Amino acid sequence: MSLSLTSLGEYLLCLVCLELSLADIMSLRQVCRVLSRTTKAKVLWIYILERQALEETIMPPYLNDYERLNSSTIEALVRRVSRLAHKWETQDLSPVRSWKLHLPLAITWLRLVAGRWLFVASSDSSSSKISCWDLSLIFQGCMEPLAEAYLPGQVKTGKLEVQKLGIVLALGLGPEAQAVHILTLRKCHGCHVFAELCCIQGSSHVLMLSGDVVACALRHGDSVPHIINWMAQRVYDIPPPPDDLNIPCRRSVPHLITTWNGALIIVRRNTLEFYTLPSANDSIGFLKLVQISTTWEAAVLCASPSVSSMGSPLRLITISPAGVEICIIEDPLTGLDSAGGFCLDPTPNPEHRTPWYRLSVGQAGRRFLRISFNEVSEFDSDGFPKPRKPPHFTFSTVPSQSCGLLTNSPRASKVPRIVWDTDGEPALWAIPTIDFDEALGLTVVGNIFGELAIYDHVGQHPERCTDLSIDLTDQKTAVPPLLPTTPLKLDLPVAPTLKIVATQTQAGETTWIFMNYDHPGYYELSKWYGEPCDEAWILEHAYGFPGRVLPQAFQRDPLSDGCQTMLFRVGSRYFAFRHDEYQLLSFTGTPSGYLDVVDDGQVETYSRPTAMTERDAFLDGKVKQEGWGETIEDTFDDEDYPDPRPDLV
Ligand SMILES: *[C@@H]1O[C@H](CO)[C@@H](O)[C@H](O)[C@H]1NC(C)=O
Ligand SMILES: *[C@@H]1O[C@H](CO)[C@@H](O)[C@H](O)[C@H]1NC(C)=O
């Protein structure tokens, strides 16, 4: 009697398979029908999946109830996460495939949900829309969006959360229609539609969405952090810390707002502010301030604020002057007034402007990326600086908790940087917005030219992993009012609206000159329209004062014809920009007289200097684009060479 493998019976064969590598299981599948059936058994793939999860392979956080999935989907997932883990080990994240779309509008926000739904907000000066694509259709070659709807203003900020109601989006619109729109995507009579759960007028700059609570940083155009219970349509004020909101670093919008252990936390450049949540007392109470090292960008490092177990420290990942840091905050009510941390990746050129911006962390909190530009200055053999490399992605892994690195240890650990170039498409220099699925190995990028790309770092049937989550758009409750599906006219001004300051003052020989449309010679007004990387953009992104810039007046330099100081307003706050000193002053009322003597408390500094690196990358890209165009013209006929990019203006 010959004993063959196939006579072992299904259960024992499964046990044998569990001892094999994935490649060997695939070989075994080729041997015969019995073995082929065994290697496709659902129970086998569930075992392997669970084992991988225990071995700290990164699993999609939205993979709920995986026993509901069929065997081939579980197998596809297992093979995908293993292949991705291998790509990380070999430090090669070059995408295997990509899908590209060109929207007619500038992309200002996007988010990828459950490896399947891609939400994109795009706008121009006359319309603004929100669209959703189903990646399972895109992967099969259908580029049509699942649903589209129009909004009354440009989406400046947004947060998205999967809730009991399905996918919930909180979108903060620009100053032309200042409001937070709470939306959801629903399946309705076999189609998909955007529906509006709620709209809160007057609030904007969304920094958090957690259940019923939305945290916003702008109220009627002023930087005043507050929270909204959107279900109850109720706005809660956040009391200012004892030393007031009107101090440098606290006048601008915060980097981040999050909840943790029942507290509300506002992350600013040098401090964390702790508050009670209204659930405790129907109002928000100030708890304490905790000092942190200088923070230019920050993200919370955990699956979701509500998932973090009670008592575990809050961990933030930040870009600081030292590099990428992890900041660990133990329970502040028992602990110290300052937070510890360590540097994960020291900055390569500390004497120069930070080379990294747009820090983003995956949903499972295990991998992060940032865009790098000008990381090291390179010189050729003759000592001339080499042309700058265009901006590119840099991915890294967060050391896992079991490595003991995420305790408050002084041991500095340098994580490897995996650099990945998008081959120049979409233009990563054009103020990109990014999201990535760290478990499935998908990265999505959109830019202000409307270029949208989906990169697959793994390859091999990505469409087989788009059904890991239940259909989040399929809900039993009544569909809320639908959003319009025809464009709404935007009230975007072509130029800033000008207002005259109430009182004209004179000091010394210099007078404030009040601005109006027909004032000749004021050539710099165009720098304040809010175009990418102009002065208004810097005010919003580097100084942290979003809103419409309303120029008010300027002082002329007595010795030259140029503008010396420009006075403008954003919300109810006045600013003076001194060109000679490149200095921004801020006032609660109209300043009077000649701005010669400056109170230090009025001087604003960058809250997010990484925006200036992003601006460098933009200007460099623009110059190269224009320069490139000239060389091309010399060599090719226009018709021979496709227009690589839409016009910049
Ligand atoms: C498994 O499920 C996926 C998605 O639900 C489906 O597309 C596929 O056809 C199923 N495969 C089998 C073999 O039933
Ligand atoms: C609740 O709020 C009131 C003021 O609104 C305050 O006096 C009281 O101490 C608060 N209670 C708690 C438990 O925070």
Q: What is the pLDDT of residues 492-529, one digit of tens each?
A: 654 444 443 333 344 433 455 555 444 444 546 667 77
Owner of token pair 């690195």: 405
At 525 the pLDDT is: 67
**Res 384 pLDDT > 50:** yes
Report whether residue 469 contacts ligand 1, using a CB cutoff of 6 Å.
Answer: no
- Ligand 2 atom 14, closest CA: 281
| pLDDT average, residue stretch 120-130 | 92
**Fold observed for domain 97-465:** Methylamine Dehydrogenase; Chain H (2.130.10)
Mean pLDDT of 295-307: 73
- Ligand 1 neighbourhood includes 467 CB (under 6 angstroms): yes
Average pLDDT over residues 164-168: 94
Which atom in ligand 2 lies closest to the alpha carbon of residue 281? 1
Q: Is any ligand 1 atom within 6 A of the Cβ of residue 422?
A: no
Q: Whose CA is nearest to atom 11 of ligand 1?
A: 72
Question: Angle of helix 71-89 relative to helix 22-31, nearest 10 degrees?
Answer: 140
Please report, for the chain, the start and end positions of each structural domain, with discontinuous segments joined by +.
5-89, 97-465, 497-604
Asked if residues 218 and 224 have their Cβ atoms less than 8 Å apart, the reply is yes
Report the pLDDT value the prediction gives residue 3, as an integer from 0 to 100: 60
Minimal-distance CA residue to ligand 1 atom 7: 464
- Segments of 135-221 assigned E as strands: 147-151, 155-163, 166-173, 179-188, 191-201, 203-210, 213-219
Q: What is the reported pLDDT for 442?
A: 96
pLDDT band at 377 (very low <50, low <70, confident <90, very high): low
Position 629 pLDDT exceeds 70: no
- Of 232 and 374, the one with more pLDDT: 232
- Does the structure show a pLDDT above 70 at 310? no
- The alpha carbon of 75 and the centre of ligand 1 are apart by a number of angstroms equal to 11
Residue 648 has pLDDT above 50, yes or no: no
Q: Which ligand has the nearest atom to the CA of 75? A: 1
pTM score, whole prediction:
0.89
Work out the average pLDDT over 298-311. 63
Give the range among 118-132, 168-182, 476-490, 568-582 with minimum mean pLDDT. 568-582
Ligand nearest to the Cα of 72, by number: 1
For 424-480, how does the pLDDT look when each residue is reduced to its tens digit (9 = 90+)? 678 999 999 999 999 999 999 999 999 999 999 998 888 899 999 999 999 999 999
Residue 406 vs residues 257, 312, 320, 344: alpha-carbon distances, Å: 22, 11, 18, 10
Flag whether pLDDT at 636 surpasses 50: no
Ligand number nearest CA of 275 is 2
290 CA distance to ligand 2 middle (Å): 22
Query: Is there an atom of ligand 2 within 6 Å of 285 CB?
Result: yes
- Relative to the CA of 276, which ligand 2 atom is closest? 14
Considering every ligand atom shown, identify the ligand nearest to the alpha carbon of residue 463 and give its number.
1
DSSP letter at 175 equals G
399 by Cβ neighbours in 10 Å (0-12 / 13-18 / 19+) ranks as middle
Q: Are 133 and 91 in contact, with CB atoms under 8 Å apart?
A: no
Q: Which of 117, 29, 137, 135 is nearest to 79 (CA)?
A: 29
pLDDT at 559 over 80: no
Calculate what percentage of the chain has a pLDDT beyond 70: 80
User: What spacing in Å lies between the alpha carbon of 59 and ligand 1's midpoint?
Assistant: 20
- What residue owns the CA closest to ligand 1's atom 10? 70
Question: Which pLDDT score, from 0 to 100, does residue 352 have?
Answer: 77
The full length of the chain comes to 649
Instruction: Tell me: pLDDT of 27 over 70.
Output: yes
Q: Which residue has 């032309």 as its token pair? A: 176
**pLDDT score for 632:** 33
CA of 73 to the centre of ligand 1 (A): 7
Query: What pLDDT band is residue 376 in, cutting at 50, 70 and 90?
Result: low
pLDDT at 251 over 90: yes
pLDDT band at 638 (very low <50, low <70, confident <90, very high): very low
Most ligand 2 atoms within 8 A of CB, residue of 237, 281, 284 to mutate? 281
Q: What is the mean pLDDT of the chain?
A: 83
Task: Indicate whether 275 pLDDT > 50.
Answer: yes
Note the pLDDT of residue 5: 67
How many Å lie between the centroid of ligand 2 and the Cα of residue 221? 29
Measured in Å, residue 466 CA sits from the centre of ligand 1 at 11
Q: Is 277 in the pocket of ligand 2 (CB under 6 A)?
A: no
Of all ligands present, the nearest one to the C-alpha of 285 is 2
Mean pLDDT across the stretch 405-432? 71
Q: Say what percent of the chain tops pLDDT 90.
A: 48
Is the distance from the beta carbon of residue 283 to the nearest atom of ligand 2 less than 6 Å? yes
Residue 322 — pLDDT band, cuts 50, 70, 90? very high
Q: How many CB atoms lie within 10 A of CB 464?
A: 17
Q: Are 81 and 52 in contact (CB under 8 A)?
A: yes
Closest residue to atom 10 of ligand 2, CA basis: 281
Q: Is there an atom of ligand 1 within 6 Å of 72 CB?
A: yes
Is the pLDDT at 417 greater than 90? The verdict is no
CA of 5 to the centre of ligand 1 (A): 29
pLDDT for 7 equals 72
Average pLDDT over residues 257-283: 89
CA of 412 to the centre of ligand 1 (A): 46
Looking at all shown ligands, the one closest to residue 237's CA atom is: 2
Does the C-beta of 140 come closer than 6 Å to ligand 1? no
pLDDT greater than 80 at residue 306: no
Tell which phi-psi region holds residue 220, choosing left (phi > 0), alpha (psi between -120 and 50) or beta: left
DSSP string covering 328-392, please? EE--TTTS-SB-EEEEEEE-S-TTSS-SEEEEEE-TTSSEEEEEE-S-S--B-TTSPBPPPPPPE
What band does 52 get if pLDDT is binned at 50, 70 and 90? Answer: confident
Any idea which of 249-253, 347-351, 382-386, 550-554 has the lowest mean pLDDT? Answer: 382-386
CB 299 within 8 A of CB 314: no
Residue bearing the CA closest to ligand 1, atom 2 = 70
Lowest mean pLDDT among 25-39, 114-128, 157-171: 25-39
Distance 467 CA to ligand 1 centre (A): 9
Q: Give residue 191's pLDDT band: very low, low, confident or very high (50, 70, 90).
A: very high
State which of 72, 77, 78, 466 you would mutate to test the pocket of ligand 1, scoring each by most atoms of that ligand within 8 A of its C-beta. Answer: 72
Q: pLDDT digits over 576-624, tens only?
A: 888 777 889 988 876 665 555 567 778 899 999 999 999 999 998 888 8
Which bound ligand lies closest to the C-alpha atom of 469? 1
Ligand nearest to the CA of 471: 1
> What pLDDT is stored for residue 90 in this prediction?
92
Choose the weakest-confidence range: 151-155, 180-184, 562-566: 562-566
What is the pLDDT, as a whole number, of residue 8?
74
pLDDT at 229 (0 to 100): 94
**Separation of CA 191 and ligand 1 centre (Å):** 22
Q: Is 73 in the pocket of ligand 1 (CB under 6 A)?
A: yes
Please report which confidence band the pLDDT of residue 17 belongs to, taking 50, 70 and 90 as the band edges.
confident
Minimum-distance ligand 2 atom for the alpha carbon of 285 = 14
Cis peptide, bond prior to residue 426, ω within 30 of zero: yes
> 260 CA to middle of ligand 2, Å?
20
Segment 283-304 mean pLDDT: 87
**5-89: CATH topology:** Monooxygenase (1.20.1280)
Asked if residue 281 has its Cβ within 6 Å of ligand 2, the reply is yes
Long-range contacts of 234-238 (CB under 8 A, 24+ apart): 235/200, 235/203, 236/278, 236/283, 236/284, 237/284, 238/264, 238/266, 238/275, 238/284
Please give the distance, rounded to the nearest whole angstrom, from the Cα atom of residue 281 to the centre of ligand 2: 6
Which amino acid residue places its CA nearest to atom 2 of ligand 2?
Answer: 281
